[in-house]
Amino acid sequence: MELNYSDRMGGIKASEIRELLKLTVRPEVISFAGGLPAPELFPVEELKKVSQKVLEEDGQSALQYSPTEGFPPLREKIAERMEKMGVKTAADNILITNGSQQGLDFSGKIFLNPDDIVIVESPSYLGAINAFKAYQCKFLEVPTDNDGMIMEKLEEALKTKENIKMIYVIPDFQNPSGRTWSLERRQKLVELANEYNLPIIEDNPYGELRFEGERLPSIKSIDTEGRVIFLGTFSKTFCPGLRIGWVCASDEVLNKYILVKQGADLQSNSMSQRELDAFLDVYDLDEHIEKIKKLYKSRRDLMLETMKEHFPKEVKFTHPEGGLFTWAVLPEHVNARELMKKSLERNVAFVPGGSFFPNGGNENTMRINYSNMPENRIVEGIKILGEVIKEELK
């Protein structure tokens, strides 16, 4: 039987990488592939208590339908957290979503017609690329360096291309590169978006996980015209399984997101929202984030030291000041997809970087996660990876 699928499905393909990554869930595999938080820090006991409290005190409403915009006290708390990050906002400007991934999908739905162009960093987050692709868009990759997107290249693109509809960026501890944008680049981005009247999607799951260096203002906090749409999430600061993220935008823009949320799923999970809200009432999330940062910093340090010692000198990698990933660039002739097949034979996984470039190329790159594996496995895995790379360079 051959059903007639929509045109958009033509652009949506199972990736070879996804198939390889399925193998990484075997317990013997040392996986630096996923973007998974450290599960030992999930507040399981605390959640047990607050879940019970929610059910005892407010069970009927927690299991009932609730407003599309989200549970009002939680929206309030998120708005307060955004204020602390320097963004002038209010609970009315927050929509709770099913993870920030849903905010990405909605952004595509709201802004993109077929053949429209989305500007992304080169490389960019695979999940966003896939979400936008469903709206049959094209991608314009703007080159990046250690300070983020290169503004001269962005300006050139804006001057020469029509059909550009939005700019998507991950300014803090980017997935996949681990890099953070400088203040000057953030300011220039807003300036250019103002000039060309474009929305900026600021995707920021990692900003609160800074281990060193100075915190930089979010792009949303620099925006004076309401063109920056901030996507936040509790996936990396709390746990991803509750699927709670948010969109913070101006009244007019947020209304569009609320409309598409109604069509997509009516609302986010009422119980999860209340559990998180009750957790925030009783526990100090910032204290919890401190624990996460401490652990990730020590894992990052260990991983980078081990890479320095065991990777050949030709391999360059980033030194992230926060977040979950480092990014390695191999000599040009090395294909990281082939390398991954070989390292998997030795039970070590990472994500070949080519997947993060929507227009292809850059197969000599790799994304390596340091948040999820315990220390002994980090050392063992990086040593093996070093051997596999050396073999390949021979």
- Pick from 68, 101, 268, 326 the residue near ligand PMP by CB under 6 A: 101
Residue 203 pairs in a beta bridge with: 231
Report the distance separating Cα 316 and Cα 366, nearest Å: 10
- Roughly how many angstroms between the first and final C-alpha of the chain, as a whole number? 49
Q: Does 235 bind ligand PMP (CB under 6 A)?
A: yes
Region binding ligand PMP by CB under 6 A among candidate stretches 98-106, 288-296, 299-307, 356-364: 98-106
Q: Does 272 bind ligand PMP (CB under 6 A)?
A: no
Size of the site for ligand PMP (CB under 6 A): 14
Q: How far is CA 146 from the centre of its chain?
A: 18
- Pick from 62, 85, 170, 249 the residue near ligand PMP by CB under 6 A: 170
Region binding ligand PMP by CB under 6 A among candidate stretches 99-107, 141-149, 255-263, 383-391: 99-107
Region binding ligand PMP by CB under 6 A among candidate stretches 97-105, 216-224, 268-276, 299-307: 97-105
Q: Does 268 bind ligand PMP (CB under 6 A)?
A: no
DSSP string, 75-89: HHHHHHHHHHTT---
Q: Considering beta carbons, is residue 170 or 278 the nearer one to ligand PMP?
A: 170
Give residue for tokens 């204290």: 287
- Pick from 35, 171, 178, 322 the residue near ligand PMP by CB under 6 A: 35
Counting other chains too, the contacts that 77-86 makes at CB distance below 8 Å and 24 or more residues apart are: 77/277, 77/280, 78/232, 78/246, 78/248, 79/248, 82/220, 82/230, 82/232, 82/248, 85/207, 85/218, 85/221, 86/217, 86/218, 86/221
| Exposed e or buried b per residue across 340-378, where buried means at least 16 C-beta atoms within 10 angstroms of its C-beta | beebbeebbbbbbbbbbbbeeebbbbbbbbbbbbeeeeb
Region binding ligand PMP by CB under 6 A among candidate stretches 96-104, 351-359, 366-374, 382-390: 96-104
- The CB-of-101 to ligand PMP minimum distance in angstroms stands at 3
- Pick from 89, 100, 130, 136 the residue near ligand PMP by CB under 6 A: 100
Which residues, 241 to 260, sit near ligand PMP by CB under 6 A? 245
Taking residues 184 to 223 in sequence order and writing x for each that binds ligand PMP by CB under 6 A, - otherwise, the string is -------------------x-x------------------
- Pick from 73, 127, 217, 226 the residue near ligand PMP by CB under 6 A: 127
Q: How far is CA 159 from CA 16, 154, 299, in A?
A: 36, 9, 43
Residue nearest to ligand PMP (CB): 99
Q: How far is CA 208 from CA 82, 171, 261, 303, in A?
A: 11, 12, 26, 21
Report the distance separating Cα 102 and Cα 97, nearest Å: 6
Interface residue list for ligand PMP (CB under 6 A): 35, 99-101, 125, 127, 170, 175, 203, 205, 233, 235, 240, 245
